[in-house]
Chains A and B, each alone.
Chain A
Amino acid sequence: MRSRNVLTGVLLGAGSLAGTLLFRRRLARQRERVDVYFGDGSMVSLAKPGEAEPLLRRARRILELAN
């Protein structure tokens, strides 16, 4: 009986951990961001709302025009 309770607890813990990881990964994917690549192979990624917002606004406008 006791071992069954332990097993249930372990399964619940593992399940909730996997769920949290999947949720966080999905959230990260949905985050709006700007990736700029330069000729020398370097890349700048803008994800903070303050620095990315002007570019995101322009991109939203392009999507609106394209749809």
Chain B
Amino acid sequence: MDAAAALERLREISSQVRAAVIFERGGKVVGSTFADDQRAKDVAEEAEALLTEAEQRRDAGGEAAEFAQLEVALQGGSVFVVRDGDRLIAATTQPEPTVGLVFYDLKSCLRDLDTAAPPKKRAAPRRKPASRAKKTDAKS
């Protein structure tokens, strides 16, 4: 499934997500819900900087486990960043979202990218008209 299709599906399943950007480490935007590419790039850059700062907090604690996901709760809404392999998704929601559900939907969106699009239903093959064998006369 491509990024546009995965984001479209995300918007269908999650009414809480307002906007989302899928990107790779380094800031390369894979897809977004924004019409403006520059805005998507800016959001990806800010999200990556946010992620780097969050990882530094962990490193300061002496352990170095990989980042998985984060939520920043603000009065005007929440910001989520979720990682799956090399890909990341940053999303914004309304204030006080259902955190677990949003994380699940964002992770599913990233996983959809790796899966092939479901094949379109093929029309049932037409049956060949049964060839009628000429009735042969039993006598002949």
In whole Å, how far is B90's beta carbon from the nearest beta carbon of chain A? 7
User: Do residues B73 and A32 form an inter-chain contact, with CB atoms below 8 A?
Assistant: yes
Q: Is A59 an interface residue (CB 8 A)?
A: yes
Looking at the complex, which of B4-12, B57-65, B108-116, B124-132 is the stretch in contact with chain A? B57-65
Q: Is A5 an interface residue (CB 8 A)?
A: no
B interface majority secondary structure: mixed
Contact bitstring A52-64, B, C-beta under 8 A = 1, else 0: 0011101111110
In whole Å, how far is A4's beta carbon from the nearest beta carbon of chain B? 42
In whole Å, how far is A63's beta carbon from the nearest beta carbon of chain B? 5
In whole Å, how far is B110's beta carbon from the nearest beta carbon of chain A? 14
Q: Which of A7-54 contact B (CB under 8 A)?
A: 29-40, 42, 44, 46, 51, 54
User: Do residues B46 and A58 form an inter-chain contact, with CB atoms below 8 A?
Assistant: yes
Count how many chain B residues have C-beta atoms less than 8 Å from C-beta atoms of the other chain: 33
Considering only CB atoms, which chain A residue lies closest to B70 in the complex? A36
Q: Is A6 an interface residue (CB 8 A)?
A: no
Across the interface, A37 reaches (CB within 8 A) one of B39, B68, B77, namely B68
Q: Which of B74-90 contact A (CB under 8 A)?
A: 74-77, 79, 90
How far is B76's CA from A56's CA once the two chains are assembled, in angstroms?
Answer: 12
Q: Is A1 an interface residue (CB 8 A)?
A: no
In whole Å, how far is B140's beta carbon from the nearest beta carbon of chain A? 82
Using a CB–CB cutoff of 8 Å, the interface residues on chain A facing chain B are 29-40, 42, 44, 46, 51, 54-56, 58-63, 65-67
